Amino acid sequence: MNRKVRKAVFPAAGMGTRFLPATKAQPKETLPLVDKPLIQYGVEEALASGVDNIIVVTGRGKAAIEDHFDRNGELEHELLARGKSEELALVKRISDLVRMSYIRQGEPLGLGHAVGVTKELVGEEPFAVILADDVISAEVPALKQLLDIYDHFGAAVIAVMEVPEDKISSYGVVDATPVEFNGTKDRLFRVNDLVEKPPQGEAPSNLAIIGRYVFPYELFDCIDGLQPGAGGEYQLTDAIRSLMRRGPVYAYRFEGKRYDCGDKLGFLQATVEFALEREDLGGPFREYLKQLKL
Ligand code: G1P
C-alpha cells in the first residue's frame, strides 16, 4: 500500500559561488527574494502541499538557515513590547508550522550524495526532494501537482519543463513517452531514460528536470550503489536511472512559472515579478519601473 508523503528533503550544503561576495558569510538559501529568504518559498510550498516535516542538508556556514526557522525570543519580546503584532505573527508563523531537522553533508560530493545522507531521517517511507533554487509560482503548488500523480500511480515522479536547446545542457534531461492523464497527453510522461547535463546536441529531448521530486524510499538503495557521474559527482539523476529498473518513473510538466534563482538573472527576474505582485509594493514599484524609460 502507498503511504502518505510526510517529509521533504532540502539539499542546502552548496557554497553558492555564483553569488559571491554576498554568500561569503551568508548562505545562498537565505538571500531575500523581496523580503523572504529563498528557502522559505520552498518550505511554504511543501507546507501548502501537505508536507510539514522538513529535512535540510547543510554544511559549514549555514547556521543562519537554522536560526531563521527557529523561534527568536529576543526579537519576539521586542516586537511585543513595541506593539508590532503583524511583524510578530510573521516571524512566529513559519517556525510554528514546520518541523525542521538538519543534517550535515560532510563532503560536497554531489546532489545524489546530499539526498543520501538523509536516509536515516527519512526512514522507510516515500519522500519529496525540493531544490530551493527553483522557485515555482503556481496556482496549485508544484509539489502538490507531483503528489497527485504519486497518489494515483504509487510511483516516483519528477518535475520537468521545456527548455530551449541552447540551455538544455545545464540540466538533467529525460527521454520520455507521453501518458494520458486527466484527459490530456501533454503533461505526464513515462520516463525511458535520463541523463545529467548532456553535451549540447546530445540531449534526448527538450524536457529538463526541475527541482521537485517524489521518491519511494528504495531510492536510497540506488544512491548507495552510485558511481561518480557528470562533473565527477554522485548525481541524483543517475540514482533515478537505476530506480527505473525497480519500477516506473514518471515526469510531470507542471503548471506554473519557474524562476532559476541559482542564477543572478533568474534571481533578479523573480525579485521584480514577485515585487510587482505584492499588494503593498506592486503599485509604487510599477510606477518606478515605468519612469525608468528603458
Ligand atoms: C540539479 C540537478 C539537475 C536539474 C537541476 C534543476 O542541477 O542535478 O538534474 O536539472 O538541478 O535545477 P544543478 O542546478 O544543481 O547543477
Q: Per-residue pLDDT tens for 41-64?
A: 999 999 999 999 999 999 988 999
Question: In the structure grid, which three cell numbers stand for residue 121, read together?
Answer: 531521517
Q: Which tens digits make up the pLDDT trace of 194-237?
A: 999 999 899 999 999 999 999 999 999 999 999 999 999 999 99
pLDDT for the residue numbered 293: 83
Which residue type sits at 83? Answer: G
User: Ligand 1 in contact with 172 (CB < 6 A)?
Assistant: yes
Q: Which atom of ligand 1 is nearest to the CA of 196?
A: 9
Q: Which atom of ligand 1 is nearest to the CA of 133?
A: 12
Cα separation, 232 vs 236, whole angstroms: 12
Instruction: Give 78 Cα–ligand 1 centroid separation in angstroms.
Output: 41
pLDDT for the residue numbered 158: 98
The percentage of residues in the chain with a pLDDT greater than 90, rounded to a whole number, is 90
Q: At what angle do helices 38-48 and 142-153 cross, to 10 degrees?
A: 40
Question: In the structure grid, which three cell numbers stand for residue 113, read together?
Answer: 550524495
Q: Take atom 13 of ligand 1 and give the residue whose Cα is closest.
A: 171
Kindly report the CATH class assigned to 7-262.
alpha beta
122, 9 Cβ separation under 8 angstroms: yes
Instruction: Give 156 Cα–ligand 1 centroid separation in angstroms.
Output: 17
User: Ligand 1 in contact with 208 (CB < 6 A)?
Assistant: yes
Least confident of 62-66, 110-114, 138-142, 271-275: 62-66
